[in-house]
Structure 1
Amino acid sequence: MSDSLDATDRGVLYMLQQNARETTTTDIAQEVDVSPSTVRNRIDDLVDRGVIKGYVPVIDYEKAGFELRILFTCTASKQPTDEFVREILDQHGIVSVRKLLAGDQNLHVEAVGTSTDDVSQIAQTLQECGLEIVRSEVLEEEALQPFDHFGKEVADDG
């Protein structure tokens, strides 16, 4: 099957991005004007094709007891492999790693911690893994939204 997304796929993705946990296939079907079984088949196909890679909760780390959320900008001596990124993700406190294509600063690492001592330990761990920390910043707040080109018009017209 082609990697391109049709209007139904985009509508399904848009609706899932709104609230995948509480949105049913019937809800999506009503919005994109197809049957619930079509929605289920489309979701299965999008998963099989790797378009949908998983479902993860959006966690309020502060409410979960991790008062500090830190963004590290790092330099790895060579372009990091997927295996290296998984190794970083396995370290205590690391919640995301973003590989960058160009420049000396080729990794963004997000970590959460309970204290400045905890964050210092995380930074030391990153350095022991071979990363040079160029900059670290405390994240105050992050606002997210679904990518609006994934079928908002299909869902709104459904």
Structure 2
Amino acid sequence: MSRPLDNVDRGVLFHLQRDARNTTTQEIAETVGVSASTVRNRIEELENNGVIMGYYPEIDYEAANLPLRVLFVCTVPATERTTYVDQMMEIQGVVDVRKMLTGRRNIHVEVVGTSTQDITRITDTLHESGVIIESSEIMRQRRMQPFDHFHFSEQEES
């Protein structure tokens, strides 16, 4: 970003994280103290600068008939993490891959499936690609919340 985020940017990001689909630029404008056109311009700038990378629905996989959700904690060679991440994203059933900074346990892969056969297929594919699976856990629930830029900034100043 060509300039640091200000309180308007932070307010826009907070509201979009809370509910991007059902929050209007006018509603955001009223809470951050600028016009709706300023909010639209800021959103466009945040998107163009790669701060906002996309808008994704939060899916209840169980309600979508994908009752099995598994988190694999894996180890791959540190210098090849990006290559492995790209390969993992091609596997049917993989919904989230996270690169970690650590040397071991440096890739976390979230997968969904309808049966143990789906999970076995994904496990086998990971093993065949050279990934070491350190652990696998069935996920029951994932809860997320928007990052509160305002309270975080206040803590830094204290």
Provide the TM-score with structure 2 as the length reference: 0.90
Percent of residue pairs identical: 51
Structure 1 CA distance, aligned partners of 2:103 and 2:82?
A: 18
Q: Which has the higher helix share?
A: 2
Deviation at 1:118, TM superposition (A): 1.1
Query: Could you list the per-position Cα deviations for residues 137-156 of structure 1 after superposition, in whole angstroms to 9, with x for gaps in the alignment?
Result: 00011111111125899xxx
Q: Which residue does 2:88 correspond to in 1?
A: 88
The number of residue pairs the alignment matches comes to 153
SS of alignment partner, residue 80 of structure 2: coil
Aligned-residue offset at 1:92: 0.8
Alpha-carbon separation, structure 1, partners of 2:144 and 2:79: 28
8 Å CA contact 2:72–2:110 kept in 1: the answer is yes
CA deviation profile, 1:114-153 (whole Å, cap 9, x unmatched):
1111101110011112201110000011111111125899
Specify the code of the residue in structure 1 equivalent to 2:138.
V
Structure 1 unmatched ranges of 5 or more: 154-158
Cα distance change of structure 1 residues 152 and 44 upon mapping to structure 2, 3 Å threshold: farther
Structure 2 residue identity aligned to 1:4: P
Kindly indicate whether structure 1 or structure 2 has the higher relative contact order, using CA contacts under 8 Å at least 6 residues apart: 1
3-state SS, counterpart of residue 141 of structure 2: coil
State the distance in 1 between where 2:8 and 2:31 align: 10
Compared with structure 1, are the counterparts of its residues 52 and 123 closer, same or farther at alpha carbon in structure 2 (3 Å cutoff)?
same
Point out where structure 2 has 5 or more consecutive residues left out of the alignment: 154-158
Residue of structure 1 in register with 2:15 after alignment: 15
Shift of 1:105: 1.3
Matches for 1:7-156 after TM superposition, within 5 Å: 7-149=7-149
Deviation at 1:46, TM superposition (A): 0.4
CA RMSD of aligned residues (A): 1.8
Q: In 2, distance between residues paired with 1:59 and 1:137?
A: 19
Q: Distance in 2 between matches of 1:89 and 1:117?
A: 19
Q: Is the 8 A contact 1:70 1:138 kept in 2?
A: yes
Large movers: runs of 4+ above 4 Å: 150-153
